[in-house]
Amino acid sequence: MKLSSRIHAMQESPVRKLVPIAQKVKQNGKKVYHLNIGQPDIETPSVFMEAIKNYDSRVIKYSFSQGEPVLIDAIRDYFKKDGIIFDKDDILITNGGSEAISFCAIAICDPGDEILVPEPFYTNYNGFTGESNVNIVPITTKAKDGFHLPKKEEIVKLITPRTKAILFSNPGNPTGTILRLDEMEMIKEIAIEHDLFIISDEVYRGMAFDGLEGLSMGSIKGIDDRLIITESVSKRYSACGARIGAICSHNKGLTKEIMKLCQARLCVATLEQIGAAALYQLPQSYTNEIRDEYQARRDVVYEALQKIPGVVCEQPKGAFYVVVKLPVENAEDFIIWMLEEFEIDGETIMLAPADGFYATPGLGIDEARIAYVLNVEDMKRAMYILEKGLIAYNQR
Amino acid sequence: MKLSSRIHAMQESPVRKLVPIAQKVKQNGKKVYHLNIGQPDIETPSVFMEAIKNYDSRVIKYSFSQGEPVLIDAIRDYFKKDGIIFDKDDILITNGGSEAISFCAIAICDPGDEILVPEPFYTNYNGFTGESNVNIVPITTKAKDGFHLPKKEEIVKLITPRTKAILFSNPGNPTGTILRLDEMEMIKEIAIEHDLFIISDEVYRGMAFDGLEGLSMGSIKGIDDRLIITESVSKRYSACGARIGAICSHNKGLTKEIMKLCQARLCVATLEQIGAAALYQLPQSYTNEIRDEYQARRDVVYEALQKIPGVVCEQPKGAFYVVVKLPVENAEDFIIWMLEEFEIDGETIMLAPADGFYATPGLGIDEARIAYVLNVEDMKRAMYILEKGLIAYNQR
């Protein structure tokens, strides 16, 4: 019995594939600072569990395929604050932002169709598309440009008759880059001129530093029929394990068809939706506090990185990641070495190799993604361990 | 912007597509007995919520991509009771039985590959395969044979070079049929001779009536490398809204590859896994009680159906469904009419049209699936309404 070609073609998660090594060294008593995964240490707001505990849970029933009305309304209110108006049937609740993007790929693309994605990109986009035989065509962006988009003609020349959409995360994972208004307008132009869908992954929205606004693509006029925003409670509300996301679009033909996918898998976990509704109802002040906390962490990390010889990176402007060029040949080898061979007083760090965030072979081999998801003191310690580790690695 | 051919080709859920009509008549004050969906009225065991409430939920973190160890161990213990031994890495936790089957289709089949499925079958199998361009080839079974499998040669002649697996639910949804040992042995023979995977959907296991055992396919020797059992807490533990299922297989090459799909979507909701672990730890006496309750409901329904002129059905032996041939030309029209036009003292019933459970066009047009998921008194009342409704419908 052979397995499918498509499953063989899928990559292992670069964020998770080294986890067994980390588990092993942790079992042997080493402490590992996990900067490899976007799992914040910030407490999930207590309203989440309170809502679940207060729910009448005598029978844990199927939810609606579209999602719990209370959660749909809460997401509509969340967008309304920015003047973005969604109808009740414009929002479909999904198993995290993950399922939102998987469903978009299936609904927009047949096997062999293409989606443009600026690279480096959130590595699981490969999974969400590969499993349904959709091809990602990378738009390469560079650290020296702050990972901003290249000129329009560079993007347009990648478009083929099979190109169906452009997908990006804003704020960017793994880059921390915030799209400028002129970039958003360029995406709009390209999408209209080449009849593409725009899939705007906004799960980090609100986490924009240095006074930047971090606009939703929903604020751009004239693309209502082609824009899909994907949402999640994971990052903004520190509820990664809730697995609650959403597809938001004014294109009623699209949402009607995606409802078939929602119906096929019946529904998303009922209790988690009840909790998530409470999260979306939190005031803006909550999000601002979280943003300020991440900005403080960003400052610690960026300042420390600037001082490490041979490390090159741009200052990230949002989300909670930074892509760094390391003074090593192969970042993955270094990351494994840090886990297995290095420690300071029984402690080490774990990063994510960045090559998995690129679709173009050969890019990112000497880069890593750092998720600054730990508190300021832990991040300081982790950067110290990184600095000493790099010295020791290069003196082997 | 066109949507994909595959999304257009998908059918709407026959179980859920009439829901908007039901919602409308309910808003107008009519009471609807929902026999259209497998949503039991039985309370979810309280251990589910207790486990969740006792969980340290300060940070709702990502779970492991494979699943929470406590849940994996509980599922292993569940199978161990029947002498079926799974290693820790043989079990992958999924978003309900739904995702389990979607993942199997992707991992085993490339676009255009085929899976054999006895029809009538759980209609969402169409969704789980259609979304990844896998084709279901139906093995037609008939009410007059109690929906048991046809002879081996009938099945074998459906096999092509693109056939990769045989998939079935046992006990059967929508048929309530329990596979006999000789049928299980025949499936084994066919799978070995034609090098197929066997996907045994056992989410209704334990619900086997009249003293039948309801064997797991895991009890059959010699197919460890090709057997995949899919599991769920939805039905056995009345926790449909938890969305917790599993893939169970001794084929380590397969589970290793499916882990890529698990990693891509990160994990299944953490809290629900904690609750589900408590459900799997319930004693056998719990499952037996539930089985007895459904058997009592089955008796009420079957007895009532026998007395309705023109209704034809076999006595179901497991799960909580029965497929009935109705004395009408088009069951869907009748079901809509029952919702919109009929009532007794402000009450009516909702069934699922059965044609959506067949892949062969034209089959099941005059059939409906009844889910006997309500208590005995409600089921009696519902059958009374069905009887009177049929008379009124045919006298229009």
- The token duo for A168 is 């990006």
Other C-beta atoms closer than 10 Å to the C-beta of A283 total 9
Residues of B in contact with A100 (CB under 8 A): none
Partners of residue B266 in chain A, C-beta under 8 Å: 96, 98, 124, 240, 243
Lowest pLDDT segment from A111-115, A268-272, A380-384, B10-14:
B10-14
Question: In terms of CA atoms, which chain B residue is nearest residue A63?
Answer: B241
Which of A17, A265, A272 lies at the smallest CB-CB distance from B271?
Answer: A272
**Do B35 and B117 belong together in one domain?**
no
Q: How far is B391 from chain A (nearest CA, A)?
A: 33
Q: What is the pLDDT of residue A268?
A: 97
**In the numeric block, which tokens belong to residue A94?**
């999904």
* A132, A102 contact by CB (below 8 A): yes
CB-based contact (8 Å) between B233 and chain A?
Answer: no
What's the full length of chain B, in residues? 396
Chain-chain contact of A59 with B48 (C-beta, under 8 angstroms): no
Does one domain contain both A135 and A278? yes
Token duo for residue A286: 């909550």
pLDDT of A202 reads: 98
Say if residue A58 is in the same domain as residue A38: no
Where a domain ends, among B258, B282, B306?
B282
Q: Where are the beta strands (DSSP E) in chain A?
A: 31-34, 91-95, 114-119, 135-140, 163-169, 197-201, 227-232, 244-249, 321-325, 347-350, 352-353, 367-371
Mean residue pLDDT across chain A: 96
- Are A20 and A122 within one domain? no
End of a domain among A284, A313, A347? A284
Q: How far apart are CA A183 and CA A177, in angstroms?
A: 12
Confidence at residue B106, expressed as pLDDT on a 0 to 100 scale: 97
User: A114 to chain B nearest CA, in Å?
Assistant: 12
Report the gap between the CA of B310 and the closest CA in chain A (Å).
32
- B108 CB neighbours in chain A (<8 A) are 1, 3-4
How many other CB atoms are there within 10 angstroms of residue A391's CB atom?
Answer: 13
E strand residue ranges, chain B: 31-34, 91-95, 114-119, 135-140, 163-169, 197-201, 227-232, 244-248, 321-325, 347-350, 352-353, 367-371
Chain B partners of A263 at a C-beta cutoff of 8 Å? 12-13, 16-17, 124, 127
Tell me the chain B residues in contact with residue A164 when contact means C-beta distances shorter than 8 Å. 1
pLDDT for position A13: 79
Beta bridge partners of B231: B246
**Residue A226: its chain B contacts at CB < 8 A?**
1
Q: Which chain B residues contact residue A111 at CB under 8 A?
A: 111, 133
The DSSP symbol for B42 reads S
How large is the average pLDDT for residues A73-100?
97
On whether any CB of chain A is under 8 Å from the CB of B257, the answer is yes
What is the CA A265 to chain-centroid distance, rounded?
Answer: 23
Name the closest residue on chain A to residue B96, using Cα atoms.
A265
Which residues 62-91 in chain B show a CB within 8 A of chain A? 62-63, 65
pLDDT tens readout for residues A166-187: 999 999 999 999 999 999 999 9
The verdict on A236 and A333 lying in the same domain is no
Nearest CA in chain A to B227: A1
Task: Report pLDDT for B16.
Answer: 75
> Quick check: B7 and A263 CB within 8 A?
no
Residues A236 and A290 in one domain: no
**B99 CB near a chain A CB, below 8 Å?**
yes
Are B351 and B337 within 8 A, CB to CB? Answer: no
Q: For chain A, say whether B23 makes contact (Cβ under 8 Å).
A: no
Encoded tokens for B242: 């938890």
Interchain CB contact of A240 with B (< 8 Å): yes
Checking if the pLDDT of A148 tops 90, the result is yes
The shortest C-alpha distance from B234 to chain A (Å) reads: 9
Residue A143 DSSP symbol: G
Q: What distance in Å separates the CA atoms of residue A3 and residue A10, rounded to the nearest whole number?
A: 12
> CA-to-CA distance for B99 and B46, rounded, in angstroms?
25
Predicted model pTM: 0.96
Residue A317: per-residue pLDDT: 96
The β-bridge partners of B228 are B199
The reported pLDDT for the residue numbered B349 is: 98
Cα B252 to the chain's mean position, in Å? 26
Give me the pLDDT at residue B15, please: 76
Q: Which residue of A has its CA nearest to B13?
A: A263
Enter the DSSP assignment of A182: H
CA closest to B58 among chain A residues: A43
User: Which backbone phi and psi does A108 adopt, to 5 degrees?
Assistant: -95, -30
Q: Are residues B38 and B176 in the same domain?
A: no
Same domain, yes or no, for A81 and A181?
yes
CATH of the domain at A276: 3.40.640.10
Q: What gap in Å lies between CA B110 and CA B133, rounded to an integer?
A: 8
In sequence order, the β-bridge partners of residue B322 are B370
pLDDT in tens, B109-150: 999 999 999 999 999 999 999 999 999 999 999 988 999 999
Residues of A in contact with B99 (CB under 8 A): 265
Same domain for B270 and B295, yes or no, is no
- Which CATH number covers residue B364? 3.90.1150.10
* Mean pLDDT of the region A235-242: 96
> Of A230, A260, A284, at which residue does a domain stop?
A284
Q: Is A265 on the interface with B (CB under 8 A)?
A: yes
CA B142 to the chain's CA centroid: 18
Residues A35 and A142 in one domain: no
Q: Which residues contact B213 (CB under 8 A, 6 or more apart)?
A: none
Task: Report CA Rg, chain B.
Answer: 21
pLDDT of residue A137: 98
Burial (CB count <10 Å: 0-12, 13-18, 19+), residue A28 = exposed
Note whether A107 contacts B: Cβ–Cβ < 8 A.
Answer: yes
Residue of A nearest to B253 (CA): A3
A108–B3 CB contact, under 8 Å: yes
Q: How many domains does chain A have?
A: 2
Q: Is B50 helix (H, G, I), strand (E, B) or coil?
A: helix
Q: Tell me which residue has tokens 């593409």.
A: A196
Enclosing domain of residue A345: 5-42+285-394
User: Taking a C-beta distance cutoff of 8 angstroms, is the pair B55, B274 a contact?
Assistant: yes
CB B131 within 8 A of CB B150: no
Question: Smallest Cβ distance to B10: which of A57, A243, A260?
Answer: A260
With pLDDT > 90 as the criterion, what percentage of chain A qualifies? 94
Regions of chain B where pLDDT drops below 70: none
Tokens of A90: 């414009």
Nearest CB neighbour to A109, from listed B4, B110, B267: B4
Is the complex ipTM more than 0.90?
yes
Of A11, A242, A260, the CB nearest to B7: A260
Buried b (16+ CB within 10 A) or exposed e, A91-111: bbbbbbbbbbbbbbbbbbbbb
- Residues A81, A108 within the same domain: yes
Residues from chain B that touch A258, judged by Cβ atoms under 8 A, are 7
Is B242 within 8 Å of A271 when comparing Cβ atoms?
yes
> Are the beta carbons of A40 and B52 separated by less than 8 Å?
no
How far apart, in whole angstroms, are the C-alpha atoms of residue A244 and residue A89?
Answer: 17
For chain A, the residue count is 396
Distance, CA of B370 to CA of B390 (rounded, Å): 15
Per-residue model confidence as pLDDT tens digits over A94-130:
999 999 999 999 999 999 999 999 999 999 999 999 9
Distance, CA of B345 to CA of B31 (rounded, Å): 9
Q: Can you tell me the distance from the alpha carbon of B287 to that of B92, in angstroms, rounded to the nearest whole number?
A: 23
Return the residue of B nearest to A266 by Cα: B98
In the numeric block, the tokens 């050969």 are attached to A362
Say whether B131 and A126 touch across the interface (CB within 8 A).
Answer: no
- Within an 8 Å CB–CB cutoff, is residue B126 touching chain A? yes
pLDDT for position A15: 76
The answer to whether residues B340 and B262 belong to one domain is no
Closest CA to B141 of B105, B179, B181: B179
Using the Cβ of B192 and the Cβ atoms of chain A, whether some distance falls under 8 Å is answered with: no
What are the helix and strand counts (H, E) for chain B? 13, 12
Cβ pair A35, A381 in contact under 8 A: no
